[in-house]
Amino acid sequence: MKFGKEFVAQMIPEWQQAYMDYACLKTILQEIQTSRKRSGGSAGALRRKQVPGRNFSGLTKRYSRTASAQDLENQDIMVNETTGEDGFERYETTIMRISEAGRESELVFFKTLDLEFDKVNRFYRSKVEEMVKEAVVLNKQMDVLIAFRIKVDQPSSSWSCTETVSVDVNALDSTEHRKTLAEEMGIKLEEKNRSSGGDSTNESVPEASSVLDRIRLNKTKESPISTIRNFLKLSNHEELKFTRENLKKIEERLEIAFIEFYRKLRHLKNYSYLNTLAISKIMKKYDKIASRSALKPYMEMVDKSYLTSSDEINKLRMRVESNFVEHFANSNRSKGMNLLRPKVKKEKHRITFSTGFFVGCTVSLVIALCLFTHARNIIGANGHKLYMVTMFPLYSFFGFVVLHMIMYASNIYFWKRYRVNYSFIFGFKEGTELGYRHVLLLSFGLGTLALCAVLVNLDMEMDPNTNDYKAVTELLPLFIIALVVAISVCPFNIFYRSSRFFFLMVLFRCIAAPLYAVNLPDFFLADQLTSQVQALRSLEFYICYYGWGDFKLRQNTCRSSHVYNTFYFIVAVIPYWLRFLQCVRRFFEGKDSSQGYNALKYLLTIVAVCLRTAYSLNRGNIWKITAWIFSALATFYGTYWDIVFDWGLLHRPSKGWLREKLLVPNKAVYYVAMVLNIVLRLAWLQTVLDFNISFLHRETMIALLAGLEIIRRGIWNFFRLENEHLNNVGKFRAFKSVPLPFNYDEEDSQDS
């Protein structure tokens, strides 16, 4: 792999604008090369004989900081350091001897290189300063944790907690290890016991509550109760109880905070290394093309810069490793480093093999189903219509789920291809996120199971006296549903437990929408549910068909029930209602007017869905006209919102009305996606126009329209997350914020 591709592959996606623009610099070098070829090598006088081993990488070798006057005269470039208005150092390169061939391109090259290096240097310094500040906060949290541990282990003691051990960021270059608080306390206790013959030490040691009295326990885990307390403007701080249970919770929170902090340090170290390597590589290319020896003086400057000379990150990493191993891994370094290091997910060949196997099974079963239907002339059989209103809605549910999973797998594939950091955006636990192969494996596995069940009880004869009909086979769809639910809630670490539990947690938060703060996974999943209205209606039919005993005779009496028809409305409205509540919560919580308009969009959609459902059940011109009006309004509103707000497209100031930054190089893709969004949103017209195809049953038409909506949602997913990713890139948000367990009272008073 060429360095340019490797450089891009190792970038932190949200920081890509802060890296060296290696591609741009290479383009300028190509212009220099082209100019020199046109001149016919007229700059030969400036060429120098290349000395073997002269090219330095600039990564491990430190160049001498002093140079003789003769060396300066012989140098091709000279780099001057100045201080900018913002207080940061800036670097300016001067070309000492330059030929006419490629003159302008060389000047542009060094001007661009200096600007890019200043950008990288400034960004790195700002991030290091952030890390130092965060280290100070973590240091205070650790002080309290150690005091808390002592209080729990020896609740009757009143030892001083004021002399706590710290990650002293101002003295990071200290070579000796500082003692922990527990060790200091133990030493003091030993000395006092020796001097007083084992008498109580409480009289000579200050109170232990000097630290613990000033802190409160943050309630970092949100719950409906905490939401209600916030609404009533009551404090959400927990009472500081010195129990083993509280200590375990605090240790877990701080452990996560340290792991995330260490991850940031690793990314910053990698950022420094990659950019330094990029400068070295581009300077080597420049020397080769321009026949100069500019690498050494430029890399000397880079070595002296903050980007490479600063050692704060290394020292912080060492201190974090030391403290983490000691306090969270019982001084077991191997265990501690395994927790700190990122979990690399290995691609397993059996996943690819199993996915291919189930894809083959699904395709084979679909072909077998078609041949079986044609051979027995099932479509023309007597029981065809009854089968379509009984069994087909049961099995179509699996079709909707499988199609949605295939679209999600496609989304993951393209997100990865265009470097959309979907695992960070969704907040997946590191190393547990599913790849597109895993999702395809699950989807085609479920598809294979459902198709097998279809073939087992594909009998159109409705007369039980012929013995062709068996009620037991009607239970197969229910069995598959029960199996899927059982696997989803299985507590054992099988079938991607982390992803299953994450899905169930987000689903619960969607159902309890007003009582939880709305995060991106919450409203993203709720949006998926709005495209699965027909699947939810199929679940309602499951309850009716099996709960009322219709499966015993393969008959459908559900539509004659007023209760069923009432819930037919309610089930269709539930996903939109959840999104409406989420928007209302975000509107009141963030005072964001756009969320109010978004809530109005879902309210309008609820009205349109109810009117279309009423028309499909009751008919009549009044229902038809009102369904037309509100459906048209909801379609126009929803389409505008999708394209302009969710996708961030069609902004007039931008070129071509698209975003200034696009991940897909071909702009036509965005215009095609917008047209498809509009066309697929108009699928509701079939409901109002009563457009039917003679050879398609009504249930088949409903399933096809539901499938089109799922496809539309899959397209929406990619561009929605692309827009979210670019927003994170614009704000350099590459890490999640981890709530800390303790809150200092003085911090509260300063904030107020």
Q: Does residue 85 have a pLDDT over 70?
A: no
Kindly indicate the confidence band of residue 379, based on its pLDDT and cuts at 50, 70 and 90: confident
- d(Cα 123, Cα 128) in Å, to the nearest integer? 9
In terms of pLDDT, which residue wins out, 419 or 239? 419
pLDDT score recorded for residue 238: 59
Task: Count CB neighbours of 679 within 10 A.
Answer: 11
Residue 746 in domain: no
How many structural domains are present in the chain?
2
pTM for this entry: 0.83
Q: What is the pLDDT of residue 234?
A: 65
Distance, CA of 283 to CA of 286 (rounded, Å): 5
**Which pLDDT score, from 0 to 100, does residue 556 have?**
87
Q: What is the mean pLDDT of residues 539-547?
A: 94
DSSP states of 33-87: HHHHHHTTSGGGGG--PPPTT----SSSPPPPS---HHHHHH-SEEEEEEE-TTS
Residue 478, in any domain of the structure: no
pLDDT score of 441: 96
Band of pLDDT at residue 749, cut at 50, 70 and 90: very low
Q: Does the pLDDT at position 462 exceed 50?
A: no
Nearest to 331 by CA among 318, 342, 322: 322
Which of the pair, 500 or 73, is modelled with greater confidence?
500
Tally Cβ neighbours within 10 Å of residue 479: 11
The CA distances from residue 601 to 568, 629, 636, 678, 715, in Å, are: 22, 14, 10, 16, 20
Find all residues with CB under 8 Å of 561, minimum gap 6, and list them.
544
Q: Span 666-681, mean pLDDT?
A: 94
d(CA 337, CA 328): 11
pLDDT tens readout for residues 171-227:
444 333 333 333 433 333 344 344 444 444 343 333 445 667 777 777 666 666 667
Q: What is the pLDDT of residue 592?
A: 86
| Half-sphere CA count of 179, side-chain side, radius 13 A | 9
Structural domain contains residue 362: no
Residue 242 is assigned to a structural domain of this protein: yes
Final residue in a domain of this structure, among 319, 342, 365: 342
Average pLDDT over residues 508-517: 90
**Mean pLDDT across 2-9:** 88
Range of the domain at 195: 1-41+58-342
Question: Where is pLDDT greater, at 542 or 623?
Answer: 542
Looking at residues 588-611, what average pLDDT do you find? 92
Instruction: Round to whole Å and give the CA distance between 447 and 443.
Output: 6
For the residues 359-375, what does the mean pLDDT come to? 92
Whole-number mean pLDDT of the chain? 81
Predicted local confidence at residue 489, as pLDDT = 93
pLDDT score for 42: 46
Sign of CA dihedral 606, 608, 609, 615: positive
Domain C-terminal end among 314, 342, 370? 342
For residue 62, is pLDDT > 50?
A: no
Q: Whose CA is closest to 268, among 455, 451, 61, 124?
A: 124
* Residue 416 forms part of a structural domain: no
Pairing of strands 215-217, 742-744: antiparallel
Q: How many CB atoms lie within 10 A of CB 346?
A: 7
Task: For residues 381 and 141, give the distance between their C-alpha atoms in angstroms, rounded to a whole number.
Answer: 74
Q: Name residue 80's beta-bridge partners.
A: 92
Mean pLDDT confidence for 142-158: 77
Question: Which pLDDT value is given to residue 162?
Answer: 38
Between CA 721 and CA 743 the distance in angstroms is 34
How far apart CA 665 and CA 593 sit, in angstroms, is 33
DSSP β-bridge partners for residue 77: 95
Task: For residue 360, tell me if it sits in a domain.
Answer: no
Q: Residue 718: which residues within 8 A CB-CB, separation 6 or more?
A: 411, 414, 415
Q: Is the pLDDT of residue 151 over 60?
A: yes
Does residue 228 belong to any structural domain of this protein?
yes
Provide mean pLDDT across the span 52-72: 42
Distances in Å between the alpha carbon of 130 and those of 127, 136, 261, 312?
Answer: 5, 10, 11, 11
| More confident position, 628 or 619 | 628
Mean local confidence (pLDDT), 723-737: 84
Lowest-confidence region among 79-88, 401-410, 473-482: 79-88
As a whole number, mean pLDDT of residues 541-554 equals 89
- Choosing from 307, 342, 377, the residue where a domain stops is 342
DSSP state of 641: I
Judged by average pLDDT, the poorest of 198-212, 450-464, 491-505, 526-540 is 198-212
Across 555-583, average pLDDT = 92
Query: If pLDDT is split at 50, 70 and 90, which confidence band does 469 have?
Result: low
Q: What Å distances lie between residue 674 and 524, 644, 650, 681, 718, CA to CA?
A: 19, 10, 10, 11, 12
Mean local confidence (pLDDT), 420-448: 92
- 34 or 422, greater pLDDT: 422
Q: HSE, CB side, 13 Å, CA atoms: give it for residue 504.
A: 14
Answer with the residue of higher pLDDT: 56 or 216: 216
Specify if 180 maps to a domain. yes
| Average pLDDT rounded to a whole number, residues 285-298 | 87
